[in-house]
Amino acid sequence: MMWVLGLTGGIGSGKTTVSDLFSGHGITVVDADVIARHILDQGTPALAAVTERYGKQALTDDGSLNRGWLREKIFAEPEEKDWLNQLTHPLIRSQLLEELEAAASPYVILSAPLLVENNLTRLCDRVLVVDVSEETQRQRTLARDKVSSDQIEQILAAQASRNERLAAADDVINNEGTLSELAPQVKALHQDYLGRAQLKRAREKALQTDQGQED
């Protein structure tokens, strides 16, 4: 079994920047957000189901998903968010498991903004939280996504609280500073995780040997 690091953080925390730094050390990153986007690509059964429910208003002129429209829809109407989750979560989970199993790096990262909320932590050997203040989340999201303050508040309310994420964490990266301050934190954790992954492999190999001798 691969050693899996769960990586999470609230919107605007810099989770993608952190995962990119780990990727720079040769570690495979399985990103739930990327998988979720492709689950609703043109021609997929999931997009067909969305179109059947909402009509062509859910699509752009070229027939792809109108992600902005859908985002506003599900945050304004919680029952629609529930419906979309029931449609996509099993598909996303199946793809996540396939990609985790296929990873060839010394350990693999499962990156998911809703790692805690969707109980994906149970797939992980350890959980790393990228942490910033809620005010920093608001400022960065506003600058990056050009969305309204109301929508940012809705997104924050839909995610686990900062305290809930920290309670689930084995490790925490503080990302209030600059990239130059972030990189050394990632490098130190990477070295630690290499050791933990190697230890897990050694234990499993020893267990298999013991079982073979018993047989």
> Which residues make up each annotated binding site for ATP?
12-17
Binding-site residues sit at 12-17
Residue 45 buriedness (CB in 10 A; 0-12 / 13-18 / 19+): exposed
Report the run of H or E that residue 172 belongs to, with start and end.
strand 171-174
Q: Measuring CA to CA, which residue among 85, 87, 164, 168 is closest to residue 123?
A: 168
Euclidean distance between CA atoms 140 and 183, whole angstroms: 19
b (16+ CB within 10 A) / e for 146-168? ebeeebbebbbeebbebeebeeb
Q: Which contiguous run of DSSP H or E holds residue 175?
A: none
Q: Which amino acid is at 3?
A: W
- Give yes or no for a contact between 19 and 108, defined as CB atoms under 8 angstroms apart: no
Integer CA distances (angstroms), 74 to 45, 58, 62, 103, in order: 19, 12, 22, 33
CA 136 to chain CA centroid, nearest Å = 19
Distance CA 91, CA 37 (A): 11
